[in-house]
């Protein structure tokens, strides 16, 4: 049996925060155990090619599997099949962990590239490089960092 390090990273893909840069509503569609069709709107907090974290003030999904319609600025609409990974509730605010089960490879690539560029930018900022913002950044449509050079994306 292999021992895992406590606190080790379990994510398969780089993740980028979204809530600090963009308030993006996400619609979860699912059927309740009695077959009723339900939609729940939540706010996207962070995103990777393998899942996301959302915040809801309306409750948590009452199903294990559901479909999600997701569209970030600068991307086409993404239809995702997903499962509920975990839910944390505190004072009627629900933090919801979602694992993607089915996401088109082209959409996974777009999300991974955005997350990589976001994280590369953070590294350049941390290292205090003179120009942390680059013209090739795939995350520029949702970026509102104070270091962003808008002239690169005109």
Q: CA-CA distance, 131 to 73, in Å (whole number)?
A: 24
Question: Please, what are the domains in the chain?
Answer: 14-145 (2.40.10.220)
Instruction: Report pLDDT for 4.
Output: 44
Q: Where are the beta strands (DSSP E) in 32-105?
A: 37-48, 51-56, 65-70, 78-90, 93-102
Instruction: Report pLDDT for 13.
Output: 67
122: its two tokens: 């953070």
Q: Taking 70 as the threshold, does the pLDDT of residue 32 lie above it?
A: yes
Q: Taking 60 as the threshold, does the pLDDT of residue 6 lie above it?
A: no
pLDDT digits (tens, 9 = 90+) for 70-129: 888 888 999 999 999 999 999 999 999 999 999 999 999 999 999 999 999 999 999 999
Mention every residue, 6+ apart, whose C-beta is less than 8 A from residue 21: 142, 143, 144, 145
H or E segment to which residue 30 belongs: strand 25-31
This prediction has a pTM of 0.79
pLDDT digits (tens, 9 = 90+) for 43-67: 888 889 999 999 999 888 888 888 8
């Amino acid at each position: 049996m292999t021992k895992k390090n406590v606190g080790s990273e379990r994510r398969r893909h780089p993740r980028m925060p979204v809530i600090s840069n963009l308030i993006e509503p996400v619609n979860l569609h699912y059927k309740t155990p009695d077959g009723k069709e339900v939609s729940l709107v939540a706010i996207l907090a962070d995103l990777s090619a393998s899942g996301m974290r959302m915040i809801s003030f309306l409750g948590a999904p009452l199903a294990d599997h559901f479909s999600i319609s997701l569209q970030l600025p600068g991307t086409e609409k993404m239809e995702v099949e997903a499962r509920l990974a975990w839910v944390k509730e505190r004072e009627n605010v629900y933090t919801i962990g979602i694992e993607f089960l089915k996401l088109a490879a082209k959409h996974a690539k777009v999300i991974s590239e955005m997350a990589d560029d976001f994280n590369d930018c953070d590294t350049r900022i941390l290292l205090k490089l003179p120009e942390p913002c680059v013209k090739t950044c795939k995350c520029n449509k949702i970026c509102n960092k104070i270091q962003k050079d808008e002239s690169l994306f005109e």
